[in-house]
Chains A and B, each alone.
Chain A
């Protein structure tokens, strides 16, 4: 079982460029999440989805968009990257309310 897979693992962008981060899970989980991790700040929720075709804003959604066209995939988009979006991005998924979230290995994104 692959669990939660994130691609790419690393990326360097220039300010103003766009890109999409892909998260795929093979556990048939309903809920999926995107977090960013910054030093000294723990993980903060960007966007989440409670099922195919649904998305919602989390704690720090500005500058990001998401889509969940298929149950197993959750995409995070940066339309116009800014240096403040330099971070490590984690995707997570879970089956039910109250169950632990399963995390991917992260995408390290640097924006110059």
Chain B
């Protein structure tokens, strides 16, 4: 069965430090890949997406992600974290099933220390 793994439940990063959130997926073909961010009490906001082409994708708020087919990974990065980045981040895989089925990881909560 398809699955998405986010191995880090919590991550604490100092403000101004770099960030990398890990995401690995299990799927036979190349899926659509997404990163969403959820602030407390809010819905999910799309940060970036990968469909095809350049494996390094840029998103909003200074985030980027790199698709590595050989590792089945789609890690999210940011060079300098801001306190406002504290939130929960979800990686999701979109599957070609005749409708757009999204399989979500369990999320990584980012804490930003001063």
Contact partners of B49 in chain A: CB under 8 A: 100
The count of residues in chain A whose C-beta lies closer than 8 Å to any C-beta of chain B is 26
CA distance A96 to B94 in the complex (A): 12
Q: How many A-B residue pairs have CB under 8 A?
A: 57
**What chain A residues lie within 8 Å of B42 (beta carbons)?**
105-106
**Chain B binding surface, main DSSP class:** strand
Among B96, B101, B102, chain A packs the most CB atoms within 10 A around the CB of: B102
Q: Give the docked Cα–Cα distance between A63 and B35 (Å).
A: 30
Expressed in whole angstroms, the Cα–Cα distance for A31 and B99 within the complex equals 8
B contact residues around A104 at 8 Å (CB)? 43
Residue in A50, A56, A100 whose CB lies within 8 Å of B34:
A100
30 of the cross-chain contacts (CB-CB < 8 Å) are: A4-B43, A31-B99, A40-B106, A41-B106, A42-B90, A42-B104, A42-B106, A43-B102, A44-B104, A45-B102, A48-B101, A50-B99, A90-B43, A96-B100, A97-B96, A97-B99, A98-B32, A98-B51, A98-B94, A100-B34, A100-B49, A101-B100, A101-B102, A103-B43, A103-B44, A104-B43, A105-B41, A105-B42, A106-B41, A106-B42
